[in-house]
A and B are shown apart, each in its own frame.
Chain A
Amino acid sequence: MRFLKSLFKDKLAASSLVVILAVIIIGVFAPVFAPHDPLEVNISKKYAGSSWEYLLGTDQLGRCVLSRLIYGIRPSILWVMAALMLSVLIGAVLGFIAGYFKGKVDALIMRVCDIMLSFPGYVMPIAFVGIFGVGLENILIAFIIMKWAWFTRVIRTSVMQYTELEYIQFAKAAGVNHFKIIRRHLIPVTLADIAVISSSSVCSMILQISGFSFLGLGVQAPAPEWGMMLNEARSVMFTRPELMLAPGIAIITVVFAFNFLSDSLQTIFDPKLMKSKKIRTEKVEA
């Protein structure tokens, strides 16, 4: 509750949260919100401007841009978030094992992470779609394979700094079993770190995955997806540049919302961040 209170004190973060929730709800109930079938082609109405029937106009095949945008939430946002959660989950489990038990298990998990992390950014997904064929599923699987290692490493660091604390040492000495220590004493304190990490990486993941669809390696036409829509708009860019606007602004809005939210989460969970700044400025001024 205290967390929600401080979140709503920050107007920007609160409105970001509202935007994100609205986008998720609209995406889940896309058929209810979409005025048209996103795949319905109507050549006679192509490039229609904004009207009551087509609020955002139509594209080069006469499809309703708004409906495509709404259905596009599913692959562009919802699936990406699902993939992110799965990789955070894997990262959390392994991170807890490595960080809490340490020793050989830790060394093994970390070496595997090192290897996974030695393929920079885009390379793993490219290799993956290259091997298994193009498609959104393969991109998502590739991202899960790539990201878990990173999450494992960060969560492990977070867990490690807490396992050194005295109350955990005390619990261990008192003979509380490992599972209970993790559940009662470690998960609650590391949850904040995990929330901050995942909310900050959701942005880059949304951008990257829509980038793959933009290249034609992810979602395949005619399915609606924001990156895909931008790619289609690019082919008619010289005559109808306005088609680039709607999907671009949609991506930017969501990414900004997540960015603001993650920034605010960071300050809420880490009051030290504000404090240290104050101390520092005081020191400098003095």
Chain B
Amino acid sequence: MALYTIRRLAAVFPILIIISFLTFFLINLSPFNPAEILLQARGIPVITDDLILQTEEELGLNDPFIVQYFNWLMDCFQLNFGTSYVTGEPVWNEIKPAFINTLKLTVLSSFIIVGLSILLGVICAINEGKFIDKSVRSMSFVLIGMPSYWLASLMIWYFSVELDLLPTSGMSSAESYILPVSIITVSYVGIYFRVIRTSMLSNLNEDYVFYGRASGLPEKKITLHLLRNSLQVSISVFCMGIPTILGGTVVIENIFAWPGLGSLSVDSILKRDFPIIQTYVLLLGASFVVFNTLSDLINMTLNPKLRKGF
């Protein structure tokens, strides 16, 4: 097992390097001159060509592309992602609190999503085709089709304005979590509970269930066996789901003025703050790889068959 883990982890590094290269390459494709944006953002009234040349030199833009990339990569390893064009602060100082805020939202939502999906998935699979299964499935169908930002706006209007129960935006108290977390949960549970339901139903056909029934195991125990086997498929889906949610909170964060990565990234796009955008993309790409690896490792632990390829 240790060997597999090491091999799997070793495979992560080339992917991370490629992702970092792609991120850096993309930013360099930009039609805007970073030096000019930097000068504009600092509010310098007259931007002369000399000034631009001087700033380009400062930013190291005159070095060959590969040299620039390696310098940037080396800095990244030391968590030095450059300085924001707009505020002049180190990028990490801006990204870190935002990342933590988004992570709070994501982790809390993920736990609720996992719990609720398993619950609904099991209930629906056991009652397949019955009223409860049908109603839960059509509910999820309706919720998936709704634009989350529309639902969020309506909920703000109803719960915060009409009923005046919950805060409209910000992250001031525990109550601020209720609306954003429920919107995120609603938009993902509909997808994930189906995964559980489907994999439980396909397991229902397996011989072990038949054998269990034949030898008179109580239905509850059979359900537990089913659940354990179905969870395996679900683990990878959930692990891939976390970075998706992490990146997908953009819209929700903007609606609720949540001081997280999503708000920060949209803000940076509108201000053309390249170092922040670059770090945001790198961070999410990397977290995707990390969670992907994690799900592989968990599945390998659970299912020795999967270790074959490594």
Interface string of B222-261 (1 = CB under 8 A from A): 0000000000000000000001101110110011000000
Residue contact B147 to A251, C-beta cutoff 8 Å? yes
Task: Tell me if B27 counts as interface (CB < 8 A to partner A).
Answer: yes
Q: Which of A130, A248, A259 contacts B147 (CB 8 A)?
A: A248
Residue contact B285 to A214, C-beta cutoff 8 Å? no
State the main secondary structure of chain B at its contact with A.
helix
Q: Which of B145, B149, B153, B277 contacts A131 (CB 8 A)?
A: B277
Residue contact B145 to A244, C-beta cutoff 8 Å? no
Residue contact A284 to B204, C-beta cutoff 8 Å? yes
Q: In the complex, what residues of B have CB within 8 A of residue A259's CB?
A: 141, 144-145
Residue contact A203 to B145, C-beta cutoff 8 Å? yes
Q: In the complex, what residues of B have CB within 8 A of residue A255's CB?
A: 145-147
Task: Tell me if A275 counts as interface (CB < 8 A to partner B).
Answer: no
Give A199 Cβ to nearest chain B Cβ, in Å.
14
Give B211 Cβ to nearest chain A Cβ, in Å.
13
Using CB atoms, name the residue of chain B closest to A283: B205
Q: Given A115-B15, A211-B148 in contact, is the A130-B269 Cβ separation under 8 Å?
A: yes
Using CB atoms, name the residue of chain A closest to B22: A115
Q: Which of A121, A134, A281 contacts B270 (CB 8 A)?
A: A134
Q: What is the count of residue pairs linking A and B with beta-carbon distances less than 8 angstroms?
A: 139
Q: In the complex, what residues of A have CB within 8 A of residue B244's CB?
A: 120-121
Q: Say which one of A79-87, A165-173, A234-242 lies at the interface with B.
A: A234-242
Task: Tell me if A8 counts as interface (CB < 8 A to partner B).
Answer: no
Q: In the complex, what residues of B have CB within 8 A of residue A123's CB?
A: 247, 280-281, 284-285
Give B207 Cβ to nearest chain A Cβ, in Å.
11
Residue contact B289 to A237, C-beta cutoff 8 Å? no
Q: Say which one of B80-88, B96-104, B108-116, B154-162 lies at the interface with A.
A: B154-162
Beta-carbon contacts under 8 Å, B126-159 to A = 128-129, 141-142, 144-150, 153-154, 156-157
Residue contact B247 to A244, C-beta cutoff 8 Å? no
Using CB atoms, name the residue of chain A closest to B21: A115
Beta-carbon contacts under 8 Å, A99-138 to B = 114-115, 118-123, 126-134
Task: Tell me if B176 counts as interface (CB < 8 A to partner A).
Answer: no
Using CB atoms, name the residue of chain A closest to B255: A234
Q: In the complex, what residues of A have CB within 8 A of residue B204's CB?
A: 280, 284
Q: How far is the CA of A280 from the CA of B204 in the complex (A)?
A: 8
State the main secondary structure of chain A at its contact with B.
helix
Q: In the complex, what residues of B have CB within 8 A of residue A234's CB?
A: 153, 255
Q: How far is the CA of A245 from the CA of B297 in the complex (A)?
A: 46
Residue contact B248 to A127, C-beta cutoff 8 Å? no
Using CB atoms, name the residue of chain B closest to A117: B288
Using CB atoms, name the residue of chain A closest to B209: A284
Give A104 Cβ to nearest chain B Cβ, in Å.
18
Task: Tell me if A77 counts as interface (CB < 8 A to partner B).
Answer: no
Beta-carbon contacts under 8 Å, A226-262 to B = 227, 230, 233-234, 237-238, 241, 244, 248, 251-252, 255-256, 259
Task: Tell me if A186 counts as interface (CB < 8 A to partner B).
Answer: no
Residue contact A126 to B201, C-beta cutoff 8 Å? no
Residue contact B153 to A280, C-beta cutoff 8 Å? no
Task: Tell me if B3 counts as interface (CB < 8 A to partner A).
Answer: no
Q: Which 3 A-B pairs have the closest CB atoms?
A: A130-B277, A248-B150, A130-B269
Please report A residues at the B interface, Cβ cutoff 8 Å: 114-115, 118-123, 126-134, 203, 207, 210-211, 214-217, 227, 230, 233-234, 237-238, 241, 244, 248, 251-252, 255-256, 259, 280-281, 283-284
Further 6 A-B residue pairs, CB within 8 A, beyond A115-B19, A131-B26, A280-B205: A118-B285, A131-B29, A207-B148, A252-B145, A255-B146, A284-B204
